[in-house]
Structure 1
Amino acid sequence: MLAVAPIAGAAYAQSAPSAAAVAAAQDPRDADYRLGAGDKLRVIVFGEPSLSGEFEVSGSGMVALPLVGQIKALGLSTSEFQNGFAAALRDGYIKDPRVSVEVLNYRPFYILGEVTKPGEYPYSNGLTVMKAVATANGFTYRADTRKVFIKRANENTEQQITLDAGTLVLPGDIIRVKERYF
C-alpha cells in the first residue's frame, strides 16, 4: 500500500506507484494490513534520497531508519508507520518531511501437514488456500482435502475452514492440512 503526501510537478512522477502497488492498494485487505516481522518496506522521504530506501521489519518489530534510528512498526498500518517516521524526522531533523511508505514484500506464509513440500513460502496478493497448496506441490495421498486449519498471524488459535477455492491466505498465516480418516 502506498500513501503519498501531496507533491507537485515532475518530482511526483519519480515516486509514482507502480501498477503492482496500485493493484495492492485496491486490495480491501490492505486497508487493515498490520506490519509484522519480515515485511520489506520502501520508504521515500521527498527531497532526501539519503533517508529513502528499502528496509525490513526486524524480528523485534522495529525498523532501523537513517538519522532517527529504530522505529516501531509491529502492529502498525503503513500510514501509522509513515506518520511515526515523519514525526521523528520533524523532531529536530527536517522541518516539514513528506514521507511515503509501501510494502514491497509481505512476510511469508507457512503450510504444514499433509502437503508434498511443507514449509515457508513467499506471500503474494490474492493468495488462496488452493494456490498455497499448489505452491507446496499439492496434497499427499493421506490429506483431508475437505478442510484445513488456519492460524492467522494476529490470532492465538487456529480455525477449521472448509476448503473452498476462494479462501484467502494472509501474510504470516499458518495453514495446516490434516490427515484424513478413512
Structure 2
Amino acid sequence: MVGIKSIKIDGESIHVFKSAIYIFESSSGFTLELDIIVSEIVVKKYKKFENLIMEIELEDGRLINSIMHLKILSGGLPQLNLFCELNDIQEYDDFDKVNEHDTWFPNIEEGITIEEIRKVEMPIEEVSLKLKLPIDQVEWLKSQKKGALNEMFQTFISDYWKKLKS
C-alpha cells in the first residue's frame, strides 16, 4: 500500500489520523480515491464544498496535485472521501486497486478512537441553556463576562464529570 506523508487542502495543511489512497475500478472507469480520518473541525470546515484542491505528498516523495470531489462519510469517525477520475492509471501501478465487485475496502477506522482524535483537536460548540434560578443568581450570571462564564462552566462540568467516573 502506498503511504501518505502529508495532505494540503486548498493550500492548508491538515492533520490526518489515518488514510488510504487507492484506485477504484468500476464499469464507468477508474478513479483515484483518498479516504482520510480527520478531526470533526476539518469535516465541519470543508463539508459545504463539492470540490477541493488537493496536494498529496506520498511517503516516496511523489506529489499528487488534483481537484477532487468530496464526499462526507457519515457514521463512525470523522472522515472525508475524495476522488477524481483517472484516464491513465499506469503512473499509479503501485497503488492498491479495488473493484466495485470486491468485498474488500481499506478500513481506516481500525485502531483509532474519537477520544484520540479529540485529544489533538477538540471541537468547541456553543450551547444555550434554559434554567430556572432565583433572581439573585440570574442577576449575578448576567453581570459576568462570557469568557469567565465559559471557563467557570468548563471547570465545573469537568470536575463533576471526574467525580461521576470515579
> What TM-score do you get using the length of structure 2 for normalisation?
0.26
Q: Identify the structure with bigger relative contact order (alpha carbons < 8 Å, sequence gap 6+).
A: 2
Name the structure with the higher strand share: 2
Name the structure with the higher helix share: 2
> What TM-score do you get using the length of structure 1 for normalisation?
0.25
Larger Rg: 2
